[in-house]
A and B are shown apart, each in its own frame.
Chain A
Amino acid sequence: MISLTVNGTNHTLDIDDDMPLLWVLRDILGLTGTKYSCGIAACGACSVLINGESIRSCITPVEQVQKQNIFTIEGLSMNSEHAVQQAWIEHDVVQCGFCQSGQIISAAALLSENSSPSDDDINKAMSGNLCRCGTYPRIRQAIKHAAKIIQEKDRT
């Protein structure tokens, strides 16, 4: 049996130990906001937050993340009010939207570590998240904007 904490909820599941977290989230728990795109940690669409870090759930065996705090896009905020989500809407980032859960998770992880990222910091944190529609210019703008939102919140 596998016990798992996702978005603050505990689950006990009868599944293979080696099932990647991605498929547990999607096919077992029905949390489909986290996407499958490559299965080899080469695109970032499956990114989730584990202890605040952006992790590729497609290659993470579920047994390795028991007793850890896993957050998916569905649990990032109550009402889409996370600074990154707000900035994403403000800058009209999404196109097809399929990679964006992963992009937002990686951006949120970056900003939790570094509230004032430079272009290089953004490049380093985001280069593993691919987007076929080509939303990168707006992702960059939105991350900078989200950083400002966070800085302002910290000040008040």
Chain B
Amino acid sequence: MTKVVVDHEKRRFLRLSTSLASVLVVGINLDACSMRKQTLSKFDVKNETLQSTVWVKIHANNAIEITVPSVEMGQGVATALPMMLAEEMEADWSLVTFKLAEANSQFKNPLTRRQQTGSSKSVRGYWNALREAGSSIKQLLILSAAKEWQVPVTECSAKQSKVIHQKSGRAINFGELIHTAQHIPIPNPGPLKEPKNYRIIGTSQRRLDSLQKVNGAAIFGQDIQIPDMLVAVVQRAPFLAKLKHYDATKALEVKDVIDVIEIDTGIAIVAKHYWGAIKARNVLKIEWDDSESQKLNPKNLRELFIKKLSKATVVDEQGDIEEGIDQAHKKLTAIYELPFLAHACMEPMNCTAHVQANRCDIWASTQGPGPAKKLAAKLTKLDPINVHVHPTFVGGGFGRRSEKDFLIEAIQLSQRLKKPVKVMWSREDDIQHDYYRPASYNEISGGVDEKGMPIFWQHKFSSPSILNRIVPFITISGLDPTATEGASDLPYRIEHQQIKYALAKNTVPVGFWRSVGSSINGYVRECFIDELAKLGGKDPYRLRQNLLRDHPRILGVLNHVAEKSGWDKPLSKGKYRGIAVVESFESYVAQVVEIRLDKTQFVVEKVYCAVDCGLVVNPLSVEAQMQGGIIFGLTAALKGNITVSNGRVEQSNFHDYPLLQINETPEIEIHIIPSNEPPTGIGEPGVPPIAPALANAILSATGTAVRKLPINSEKIRSQMA
């Protein structure tokens, strides 16, 4: 039985679960919080009615359980978000555990108004909300202690999960206050702490989810097992193909196969277990009408991009580009080409759905429990209140799991079979039916004056648009901010600039890929500034330093990484270095890469990284995200390439879409810039600078710019030899 005490005036409520009298459950409704002063980035939509609620359980034994509204996909939110609340609550951190939230509108990110984790927005989004909730709970516990002791509230304070009465020297554990606290309305948050008084925020705390991830207990979407559950695999159509005919006779003869069913995305084979489904799929005969698919091949795609360039729309313009071109002492034009990339999360896509007459349950490794709930309600025509999206750990997201394709498959199959169904994607399915990081074709020109300083910058590029697929109306003007980020708002002070973008339609499906546009445009921008430095006879670091004088925080990380890497000191023979700096998700990251020419290969030896992400919540986690972003970016720079032939992706598994291995991983040194600015993104900003920093090291070594990714190691080796 649950008793709910609601304080209507403040629209906050406090709930005591009396069936478990040993626990106090506190819900802080954020609508009433005075916390709407977040720095909003330009893509944030207008304010809506908020329903966000923070839930905290305080047990009589002093244990504290904080519900984490974001999805934990490796980025460390299940630790960082509780740290923020525990700080203001004055909790003893060693007593804090976390619980992943199910889908509920209460858990919407205050910044995005969605319960979807992405855009490096968890810490930014919940920064004020969780701290204010923590402060309210602390006030509640102080009020409770003061009441018990019959002393003025002002004489009490809280520290390390205790309320203290200084005068009498008394102290009481939070857990001992839960019965008194249930009768007291939740107060408003007090003034939030000054960073100098932090005890938890800013300290390196180990992850709260480590134990279950080292003993096999952590449950990912792939691991869901429920009674009577069937397992399905789907044979999906090549891009732009339609089903002509299929013959399931042989497939149905395979042991433990239950059914073969046509669904929206292809032909599903349903079995008692994955192996049965896979065996049956191998003998399933399908004929596709792939006449349209033939158009999707490398030659056509490249021609499409080039053709589109002539119709590019101006994104940004400064000065007079024609005048700049006229005035230039020396000029340079380059073509930069970047490939499509797959996400290749270690956990292939999957979803388990159980649709019944009056309820629907979903277990999925998804970045968007909120949108998943909405989707399931729509497909099943059930009231959202009867749709339950249960949390799981997520085996890598990187943007891929913000999509809905795998959810739809499981829901449709469970509806048809009236049983719980787990849809499993094979690695081949995962690589070949992704929403790819857009490829991009760039024509970029620049010139320097007589002193060697850049005088004009003209960047025209064409790429498929993610937003054009998802929310086409946003791209009516021909622009897509996620496609142009990193290219628009050029931070370099160059008098004459023009940036133009051309949206290429009808390619392969494209989607958000860790750091989105900045991974593409950051590469072109940072490589070409090195090309201009070379043209003007300048040091690439010193030239950036000069051109970034209007941007103190970008300059800050640039100078820091240059200092830490000993930029001005010569390297030993056979070693070369490159530098790059990219701002993304409101954070600033600069990296220096050192490479070495070996007898048989070139080796990426060391990476220095400086990051300014505002106030740091968990330095240990920031370091991990930078390391991970660098390795993710190195995989793309050195190996990543998705090619399409006749509507089919030519790569299929890790043998032909390889990832960086431990033996190829350089030494990585992370330097975090101390800051009291509001915290900014950290999951993605480590990615963009690494590829251009590496390419710039190669430019320094060989004299030739790397204008096409992935880097052709064989070619580099021959140039270096």
Contact = CB atoms under 8 A, between A and B. Distances in A.
Interface of A: 16, 19-20, 23, 26-28, 30-40, 42-43, 45, 72-74, 76-77, 80, 85, 88-90, 92-101, 104, 122-124, 126-140
Contacts of B217: 33, 74
B346 interface: yes
A96 B216 contact: no
29 contacts: A19-B275, A20-B275, A27-B273, A28-B273, A31-B216, A32-B223, A33-B216, A35-B346, A35-B395, A36-B424, A37-B427, A38-B653, A42-B655, A85-B215, A89-B211, A92-B206, A92-B624, A94-B207, A96-B73, A96-B347, A96-B393, A97-B220, A99-B395, A100-B213, A122-B662, A131-B659, A135-B627, A136-B660, A137-B668
Contacts of A39: 426-427, 653
A126 to B, nearest CB: 5
Which 5 pairs show the lowest CB-CB distances between chains A and B? A33-B216, A134-B631, A98-B395, A96-B74, A97-B213
Given A39-B426, A42-B654, A74 B215 contact: yes
Given A96-B393, A96-B395, A98-B396, A132 B659 contact: yes
Contacts of A136: 631, 660-662, 665
B396 A132 contact: yes
B231 A27 contact: yes
Given A32-B225, A123-B663, A134-B628, A101 B275 contact: no
Contacts of A45: 346
Given A16-B275, A95-B628, A98-B220, 13 more contacts: A23-B274, A31-B216, A40-B655, A72-B216, A74-B217, A92-B207, A92-B210, A97-B209, A131-B346, A131-B662, A132-B659, A135-B627, A136-B631
Nearest to A80: B215
Contact of B74 (A27, A40, A95, A104): A95
Interface centre among B213, B347, B667 (most CB of A within 10 A): B213
Contact of B213 (A38, A94, A122): A94
Contacts of B655: 40, 42
The DSSP consensus for interface residues of chain A is loop
Given A95-B74, A99-B346, A134-B629, A40 B653 contact: yes
Contacts of A77: 215
B396 A85 contact: no
B624 A95 contact: yes
B344 interface: yes
Given A27-B231, A32-B222, A42-B653, A101 B662 contact: no
Given A132-B345, A140-B662, A74 B393 contact: no
B338 interface: no
A80 B76 CA distance: 21
B414 to A, nearest CB: 18
Contacts of A43: 346, 654, 659
A131 B632 CA distance: 10
A97 B231 contact: no
The DSSP consensus for interface residues of chain B is loop
A123 B214 contact: no
A35 B217 CA distance: 12
Contact of A92 (B620, B653, B660): B620
Contacts, number: 178
Given A32-B216, A94-B213, A137 B665 contact: yes
Contacts of A133: 74, 346, 396, 628, 632
Nearest to A125: B662
B348 A134 contact: no
Interface string B214-235: 1111111011010000010000
Contact of B344 (A73, A97, A101, A132): A132
A43 B657 CA distance: 11
A62 to B, nearest CB: 10
Interface centre among A38, A42, A104 (most CB of B within 10 A): A38
B181 interface: no
Contacts of B519: none
A31 B219 CA distance: 11
Given A74-B215, A96-B395, A98-B346, A130 B654 contact: yes
B661 A89 contact: no
A38 B214 CA distance: 20
Contacts of A35: 220, 222, 346-347, 395
Contacts of A23: 273-275
A99 B396 CA distance: 10
A45 B424 CA distance: 16
A35 B427 CA distance: 12
Contacts of B426: 39
Nearest to B514: A132
Contact of B627 (A73, A129, A137): A137
Contacts of A129: 662
B130 interface: no
A28 B275 CA distance: 11
Contact of B394 (A40, A85, A96, A127): A96
A9 B627 CA distance: 40
B255 A16 contact: yes
Given A37-B346, A42-B653, A74 B216 contact: yes
Contacts of B440: none
Contacts of A20: 275
Nearest to A131: B346
B28 interface: no
B497 interface: no
Given A37-B427, A135-B628, A89 B206 contact: yes
A100 B396 CA distance: 12
Nearest to B204: A92
A19 B231 CA distance: 15
Contacts of B543: none
Nearest to A34: B216
B630 interface: yes
Contacts of A89: 206, 210-211, 214
Contacts of A38: 427, 653-654
A40 B210 CA distance: 28
A138 to B, nearest CB: 7
B680 interface: no
Contacts of B273: 23, 27-28
B212 to A, nearest CB: 8
A40 B275 CA distance: 14
B603 to A, nearest CB: 13
Contacts of B458: none
Contacts of A100: 213-214
Contacts of B632: 132-134
Contacts of A127: 661-663
Given A89-B206, A127-B662, A27 B346 contact: no
A21 B273 CA distance: 13
B393 A97 contact: yes
Nearest to B618: A92
Interface in B610-657: 620, 624, 627-632, 653-655
A103 B503 CA distance: 42
A19 B275 CA distance: 7
A12 to B, nearest CB: 17
Contacts of B219: 32
